[in-house]
Structure 1
């Protein structure tokens, strides 16, 4: 017990001596009048980094890709395609729609003037007007633009009307809207049904059978029977 007490007393004396030394040092310490900037620790303002948004990243990548594509297109020269490599869509866009679309636009303007879209019985006929515009604006015959005759004054139209005269009243004047709508729906459904492969096969079979029955020589002539055995050797009516 005595040894422990002596140790504690020694530790307390050491602590007191250190505290006295600290107090004396603080009492004698004085701040200088000025300090160099290098010795002053100024507070540093930490800026938060902005997080990039996904939309901005996508826009930047798209802009870069567009620049690359423009550069590649500028380097590649446009080579004209040969006629056998042109597709049907390219031919329609480059040859047909250039002439057909302006004719349709002009026909719509005329229909608005005649109020054909409002009244059922109207003197204006859209199909006749489209045929007239296409015939007058044929690029193979540029002289027709200056003449621009009416469709009933064209020689081919007169000959056709002589052989196939039109009825006095068109069907659009006689048919009610409900009957015309059902007839249009019927023809559209018939077209899509007849396009099916199994229906086409059945129609070809009956057409071929009818043709074979109309030619009695097929039973006696083997050459004709072989010829008409394939579906590609008879005419479709």
Structure 2
């Protein structure tokens, strides 16, 4: 029993001795240079692969492109006159500004009339687009105040007197099978008439019809030359 007690006492550390050890480690500092830092490790030299012509050309084109972009950024933009504007600018700035709001309003009106779900609907989308565009014409700002209906417009009344509209539209009278047949027929006709051989044959018959209608065509070379181009033929 006495031996065991002495072993336990020997295992217990003295707190004072532990404090002295911590002070010694805290005062220890690393040297400025370690032996391993003085060793020159071998450096692996990688051989650079030879550049191909494609890489050289791509790098040259990239450099020239950057140079052109820099030169363009330094130049002052030259404003284009109105008569040099392209068709894309005109459509974007003049047509779509008026057309897109009219289409949005027409779609909202079609939802109110439930034109997407009903097979036969009183609402006519084309008539509504015409009405919106005519009333919102920027050249005639006074039309917004009147906001006339399509059938109350003077030019529409004059046109309907000459060419009256049928009571029922064709979409109400035709069946789905008959309408699909007509659509397929029209599409096939377009692709057939688009071929070069068919276009050449149609031009031949048009010119022949002109020659038959004008009897002096055969004896007058100047008249024949004038009607040789397709621009003088009624299509």
Q: Provide the TM-score with structure 1 as the length reference.
A: 0.65
In the TM superposition, 1:91-110 aligns within 5 A as: 91-110=90-109
Alpha-carbon separation, structure 1, partners of 2:33 and 2:88: 78
Contact 1:132 1:150 (C-alpha < 8 Å) held by counterparts: yes
Q: Which residue does 1:170 correspond to in 2?
A: 169
Verify: 1:197 aligned to 2:196, yes or no.
yes
- Where in structure 1 do 4 or more consecutive aligned residues deviate above 6 Å? 70-74
1:78–1:141 distance in 2 versus 1, CA, 3 Å:
farther
1:142–1:168 distance in 2 versus 1, CA, 3 Å:
same
1:38–1:83 distance in 2 versus 1, CA, 3 Å:
same
Alpha-carbon distance, 1:166 to partner: 1.0
Structure 1 residues 26-71: Cα deviation after superposition (integer angstroms, max 9, x where no partner): xxxxxxxx97632784999xxxxxxxxxxxxxxxxxxxxxxx9x99
Q: Which residue does 2:234 correspond to in 1?
A: 236
Contact 2:211 2:218 (C-alpha < 8 Å) held by counterparts: no
Alpha-carbon separation, structure 1, partners of 2:71 and 2:114: 52
Contact 2:206 2:233 (C-alpha < 8 Å) held by counterparts: no
Alpha-carbon distance, 1:92 to partner: 1.6
Alpha-carbon separation, structure 2, partners of 1:85 and 1:192: 35
Q: Which residue does 1:58 correspond to in 2?
A: none
Alpha-carbon separation, structure 1, partners of 2:91 and 2:189: 26
Which of structures 1 and 2 has the bigger CA Rg?
Answer: 1
1:37–1:192 distance in 2 versus 1, CA, 3 Å:
same
CA RMSD of aligned residues (A): 3.1
Contact 1:204 1:231 (C-alpha < 8 Å) held by counterparts: no
Contact 1:103 1:130 (C-alpha < 8 Å) held by counterparts: yes
Contact 1:227 1:233 (C-alpha < 8 Å) held by counterparts: no
Number of matched residues? 180
Alpha-carbon separation, structure 2, partners of 1:90 and 1:189: 34
1:140–1:39 distance in 2 versus 1, CA, 3 Å:
closer
Q: Which residue does 1:37 correspond to in 2?
A: 30
Structure 2, unmatched stretches of 5+, are 1-26, 38-66
Alpha-carbon separation, structure 1, partners of 2:198 and 2:124: 36
1:95–1:39 distance in 2 versus 1, CA, 3 Å:
closer
Verify: 1:153 aligned to 2:148, yes or no.
no
Contact 1:136 1:149 (C-alpha < 8 Å) held by counterparts: yes
Contact 2:203 2:230 (C-alpha < 8 Å) held by counterparts: no
